């Protein structure tokens, strides 16, 4: 079958590889579309210790064409979104049955685009930050995959005010359509906010932005850390100061959850996919690439040339 292979030279090449066979508890999915996400950039740049050659691609939508031992044969033919630890940029990918999620009422393009961002944005807003009516919410990387969905989930949860931070004025304009009341640029953060503080802050950035976020947290506020877009430098957190203000620092790691508690990940994903199917939230696909163009698709994301979500057409 055709698959994209990341070599030891950090290059992605369209190659012929053996078709994977589902092991016990797994299904094989014939991929129609796969999503491009920041994890692909981290893999390319060597932040995850994965053996090379490696077939990347963490989210793929398509049809179940084979089941492994212990998986009911009735699953054959199901249209699913597969959340995987790699292998998605290929004609066939295997996935744990529990993470091959029924994508009822959602077309394959949208399901691939929903990928990990749908469960992540939903869990960040809902289960982790416990966003509720009247809350004010600050969302960084506002025009990206997680950011555009998180604003919509926050609105659905009844947030009173939703503020975003994006990389440029053009991206700030783009992000506004997803329910933000105000979007500032990275250069305007945090000064433009004046004295404003937030009940919930979603931080995939790290570094100086994380320190600035701590200073913007309201009493009893929740800062949720879920990425390191600006780099992996450690950030010192004054825990006793947090205690005096009743503030909480929380984290979320969906990849870890896929191993430790796949049922919880699947349940969160199902709630997010149901909202997508009902049309109460949407994922904006702004770029569609061929399988042979994965390298360019990932480079575009890394270079800030994308907004919303990019996908790859496979089948």
85 lies in the binding site for ligand NAP (CB under 6 A)? no
117 lies in the binding site for ligand NAP (CB under 6 A)? yes
The least CB distance from residue 288 to ligand NAP, in Å, is 15
67 lies in the binding site for ligand NAP (CB under 6 A)? no
Interface with ligand NAP in residues 196-225 (CB under 6 A)? 204-205
258 lies in the binding site for ligand NAP (CB under 6 A)? no
167 lies in the binding site for ligand NAP (CB under 6 A)? yes
* Alpha carbons 68 and 57: distance in angstroms, whole number: 21
Range in contact with ligand NAP (rule: CB under 6 A) among 20-28, 80-88, 176-184, 250-258: 250-258
Interface with ligand NAP in residues 131-160 (CB under 6 A)? 141, 143-147
The least CB distance from residue 205 to ligand NAP, in Å, is 4
Interface with ligand NAP in residues 278-307 (CB under 6 A)? 301, 304
The count of residues interacting with ligand NAP (CB under 6 A) is: 26
Interaction site with ligand NAP (CB under 6 A)? 37-38, 116-117, 120, 141, 143-147, 166-167, 171, 186, 204-205, 226-227, 229-230, 252-254, 301, 304
């Amino acid at each position: 079958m055709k698959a994209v292979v990341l070599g030891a030279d950090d290059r992605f090449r369209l190659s012929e590889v053996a078709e994977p066979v589902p092991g016990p508890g797994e299904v094989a999915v014939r991929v129609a579309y796969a999503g491009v996400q920041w994890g692909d950039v981290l893999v390319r740049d060597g932040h995850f210790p994965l053996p090379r050659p490696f077939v990347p691609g963490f989210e793929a939508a398509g049809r179940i064409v084979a089941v492994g031992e212990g998986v009911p044969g009735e699953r054959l033919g199901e249209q699913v979104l597969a959340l995987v630890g790699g292998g998605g940029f290929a004609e066939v990918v295997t996935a744990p049955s529990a993470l091959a999620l029924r994508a009822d009422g959602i077309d394959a393009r949208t399901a691939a685009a929903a990928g990990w961002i749908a469960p992540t944005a939903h869990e960040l807003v809902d289960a982790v930050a416990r966003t509720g009516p009247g809350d004010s919410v600050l969302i960084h990387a506002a025009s990206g995959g997680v950011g555009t969905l998180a604003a919509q989930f926050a609105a659905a949860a009844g947030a009173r005010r939703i503020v975003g931070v994006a990389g440029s004025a053009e991206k700030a304009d783009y992000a506004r359509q997803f329910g933000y009341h105000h979007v500032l640029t990275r250069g305007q953060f945090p000064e433009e906010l004046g004295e404003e503080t937030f009940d919930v802050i979603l931080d995939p950035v790290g570094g100086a932005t994380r320190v600035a976020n701590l200073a913007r947290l309201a009493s009893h506020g929740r800062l949720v850390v879920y990425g390191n877009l600006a780099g992996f430098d450690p950030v010192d957190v004054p825990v006793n100061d947090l205690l005096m203000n009743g503030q909480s620092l929380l984290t979320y790691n969906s990849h870890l959850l896929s191993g430790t508690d796949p049922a919880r990940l699947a349940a969160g994903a199902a709630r997010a996919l149901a909202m997508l199917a009902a049309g109460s939230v949407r994922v904006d696909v702004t770029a569609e690439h061929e399988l042979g163009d994965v390298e360019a698709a990932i480079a575009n994301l890394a270079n800030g040339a994308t907004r919303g979500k990019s996908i790859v057409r496979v089948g």
